[in-house]
């Protein structure tokens, strides 16, 4: 079953909130799992990719994954539907996420 959830940075305190996305005419709101609604900065909204990194952290669209392979350092930008694109145009499968870490 697909897990559709979003995260965004709250306007009131700058913290990330996770939950359902609600888009209005003039605002973007995320409702958390407890039913609380928070207005968020639309530029920070990202969808969960259904993948996790090597540490088990959830990867969201726009996150950057890092990996070292054969003495080279690679960075991948996460796209929705559990794959990522490297700066050189290579793709990373969901299975390969398990060898990467989210960039801090």
| Same domain flag for 37 and 69 | no
Range of the domain at 31: 6-44
| pLDDT band with cut points at 50, 70 and 90 for residue 35 | very high
| pLDDT score recorded for residue 87 | 57
Average pLDDT, the chain: 82
| Same domain flag for 15 and 37 | yes
| Same domain flag for 10 and 38 | yes
| Same domain flag for 29 and 72 | no
Residue 15 lies in a domain: yes
Percentage of the chain surpassing pLDDT 70? 77
Residue 1 lies in a domain: no
**How many domains does the chain contain in total?**
2
Q: Rounded distance, CA 76 to CA 86, Å?
A: 4
Asked if residue 10 has pLDDT above 90, the reply is: yes
| Same domain flag for 57 and 86 | yes
Question: Nearest 5°: CA angle at 66, between 58 and 72?
Answer: 160
pTM value is 0.71
| Same domain flag for 91 and 72 | yes
| Same domain flag for 68 and 37 | no
| pLDDT score recorded for residue 82 | 44
| Same domain flag for 38 and 53 | no
* pLDDT tens digits, 55-75: 989 989 889 988 888 888 888
Between residues 50 and 9, the one the model is more confident about: 9
Q: What Å distances lie between residue 12 and 8, 37, 40, 41, CA to CA?
A: 12, 12, 8, 10
**Is residue 16 within 8 Å of residue 49, measured between CB atoms?**
no
| Same domain flag for 60 and 93 | yes
């Amino acid at each position: 079953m697909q897990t559709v959830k979003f995260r965004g940075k709250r306007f009131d305190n700058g913290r990330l909130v996770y939950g359902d996305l609600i888009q209005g005419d003039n605002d973007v709101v995320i409702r958390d799992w407890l039913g609380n609604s928070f207005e968020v900065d639309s530029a920070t909204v990202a969808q969960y990719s259904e993948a996790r990194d090597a540490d088990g952290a959830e990867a969201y669209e726009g996150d950057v994954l890092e990996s070292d392979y054969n003495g080279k350092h690679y960075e991948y930008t996460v796209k929705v539907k559990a794959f990522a694109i490297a700066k050189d145009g290579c793709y990373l499968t969901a299975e390969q996420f398990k060898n990467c870490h989210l960039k801090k």
